[in-house]
Chains A and B, each alone.
Chain A
Amino acid sequence: MLEKIGKSLMNIKLLRKIFNWGRAWSLWSVHLETGCCGPEDMARACARFDTERFGTLPFPTLRECDLIFVTGFVTKKMAKRLKLAYEQMPEPKYVIAIGHCSISGGLWWDSYSVVQGVDEILPVDVYVPGCPPRPEAWIQGIRMLQEKIAKEGLKK
């Protein structure tokens, strides 16, 4: 019953907009580093680039996060953990693939232990190319995801 009321409320355009606005500006990211874009993750979260301006705060607890940055290559051993982490997160959840390695395998295109593109295991929302991408590119990725969330349809 409550779910039905909730769904019908979400169909009201204004309410939906407010909801999307709230989601877009509080994207807390999981602290799970998979590859070597890790230091740029730190750089973008810290003093100079400070993505907390856009509401993206690295947070240790999975259960309160909405966003995964797949930082760089994903090995087959890490892929299981990454999927586990993704499944533990509450809905709605978003994925940003950072770097060439997580987009298509990149430099490790012929490696026996690297997953060729993280979209084989997770649904990716935004791709940010680079090896590693500059923090400005990360910020652009976050902004693109925010725009995507703001347009999110009435169905979900």
Chain B
Amino acid sequence: MSIMKLSMGPQHPITGHFRFILDVDGDLVLKLEPDIGYTHRGIEKLAEKRTYLQNLPLIERVNSYCDSVGTMLGYLEAIEELMGLEVPERAKYLRVIAAELNRIASHLYAACLFSVATGLETMLMWPINDRELILDLLEKLTGQRITYTYPTIGGVRFDMSEGFKEEALKRLDYLEKRTEDYYKMLLWNHTFQIRAKNVGILKPSDAIRLGIVGPNLRASGVKADVRKDEPYEVYDRFDFSIPTGKNGDSYDRLEVRFKEVEQSINILRQAIKDIPKGPIKKWAPPIVPKGEVYTRVEAARGEFGYYIVADGTMKPYRLKMSPPSFRNLIALPYLCRNVPLADVPVIYISLDLIPMDVDR
């Protein structure tokens, strides 16, 4: 049979903002080439025109999809390191609480996209409904649903409102019970296992060679988490484990995310219990001293790196980001070789890529 070129997206329920150029032979995909750039806004260039404080909403929208706090923390860490600014204890705890809540929301979002890709409509509704509960908590904390601009240079913008602790603990208890239902409904579901198991296997050696980060790397069995390896904020004070997968297939990638939700609940409980009293913000000068810095944080999708060159003015001279989805994108053409066409959406969704993160 002859090889045919097939174009998939961007108007496609699965691909989002991507276009895939596929070489297909009948039903078999021989080669996949992602066509990126549909959401390129030039954030790195725009960041040079604005002050450090004005950059906050800009940076947030790199991944405003689900994980805006995790994205911003790296930028703030970098600036605070350049300034030599020590953030108040309470602010650090509040940042961790917001970031972990955001991680749960992000992983639930990934789960519901996965179930759409495998055709399980009920599991589209369940996680997104539970995600709303988490978004309610974040709204109570920050005043917004998905774009918070909550952490700021030198601390956070708002303190915990009254009754937040009790409400949070109640909802976390509920969510913990609910994750068991997810295992029963989605992960142990035979129909789902047929679609997801042994699809898109990424070996640990390949994952390291390709530079995969985050839950996708951990699903391949590599124990790597910036929260443990290079603790930032107050992550070194919490007792939590790094879940890893065995086979590195699409199923493991989702299972690792669910296990991470459990660990996030664990961290949140400790953070809410231990949070000290005190100020939430420290005054920070608008001018950042001359220097260069690279920081990395663990966002929901993996390691998020920031490289900032400051020239002693109010604006950054250069801001370079290394977002997790861009690093994970390289696994997609690698995994989509000689697979049936129906497996392409499953592999794509299992990597949990965000086009906005890729293009910036």
* Contact partners of B49 in chain A: CB under 8 A: 110
Q: Shortest beta-carbon distance, A25 to chain B, in Å?
A: 22
User: Pick the contact of B11 from A46, A85, A110, A113 — CB < 8 Å?
Assistant: A85
Q: Would you call A39 and B146 a contact (CB within 8 A)?
A: yes
Question: Can you list, as one digit per residue, whether each of A26-70 has a CB less than 8 Å from chain B (1) or not (0)?
Answer: 000011111110111011001110000000001010100000000
- The reply to whether the CB of B290 lies closer than 8 angstroms to some CB of chain A is no
- Give the A-B pair count, Cβ closer than 8 A: 90
* Contact partners of A143 in chain B: CB under 8 A: none
Q: Would you call A39 and B66 a contact (CB within 8 A)?
A: yes
Per the 8 Å Cβ criterion, residues 34-48 of B in contact with A are 37-42, 45-46
Q: Would you call A47 and B145 a contact (CB within 8 A)?
A: no
* Contact partners of A47 in chain B: CB under 8 A: 125-126, 128-129, 132
Which bucket holds chain A's interface residue count? 20 to 34
Q: Would you call B132 and A38 a contact (CB within 8 A)?
A: no
Q: Would you call B146 and A132 a contact (CB within 8 A)?
A: yes
Measured CA separation A113–B43 after assembly (Å): 10
Per the 8 Å Cβ criterion, residues 97-139 of A in contact with B are 107-108, 110-114, 131-132, 134
Per the 8 Å Cβ criterion, residues 14-71 of B in contact with A are 16-17, 37-42, 45-46, 49, 57-58, 61, 64-66
Q: Shortest beta-carbon distance, B44 to chain A, in Å?
A: 11
Which of A11-19, A73-81, A144-152 contacts its partner? Answer: A73-81
Q: Shortest beta-carbon distance, A103 to chain B, in Å?
A: 16
- The reply to whether the CB of B112 lies closer than 8 angstroms to some CB of chain A is yes
Q: Would you call B11 and A31 a contact (CB within 8 A)?
A: yes
User: Pick the contact of B16 from A33, A73, A85, A132 — CB < 8 Å?
Assistant: A33
* Contact partners of B57 in chain A: CB under 8 A: 107
Which bucket holds chain B's interface residue count? 35 or more
Question: Residue of A at shortest CB range from B136?
Answer: A48
Q: Shortest beta-carbon distance, A105 to chain B, in Å?
A: 10
Q: Would you call B64 and A36 a contact (CB within 8 A)?
A: yes
- The reply to whether the CB of B251 lies closer than 8 angstroms to some CB of chain A is no
Q: Would you call B11 and A112 a contact (CB within 8 A)?
A: no
* Contact partners of A43 in chain B: CB under 8 A: 128, 131-132, 135
Q: Would you call A38 and B65 a contact (CB within 8 A)?
A: yes
**Also in contact, A132 and B109, with CB within 8 A (given A75-B39, A78-B39):** no
Q: Would you call A31 and B12 a contact (CB within 8 A)?
A: yes
Question: Residue of B at shortest CB range from A85?
Answer: B11
Question: Residue of B at shortest CB range from A50?
Answer: B125
Q: Shortest beta-carbon distance, B92 to chain A, in Å?
A: 27
Question: Residue of B at shortest CB range from A42?
Answer: B128
Q: Shortest beta-carbon distance, B310 to chain A, in Å?
A: 21
Can you spell out 11 A-B residue pairs with CB atoms less than 8 angstroms apart? Answer: A32-B11, A36-B39, A46-B128, A47-B132, A48-B129, A60-B13, A75-B39, A81-B38, A107-B61, A108-B41, A111-B46
Which residues on A are within 8 Å of B, measured CB to CB? 30-36, 38-40, 42-43, 46-48, 58, 60, 62, 73, 75, 77-78, 81, 85, 107-108, 110-114, 131-132, 134
Which residues on B are within 8 Å of A, measured CB to CB? 10-13, 16-17, 37-42, 45-46, 49, 57-58, 61, 64-66, 109, 112, 124-126, 128-129, 131-132, 135, 145-147, 356
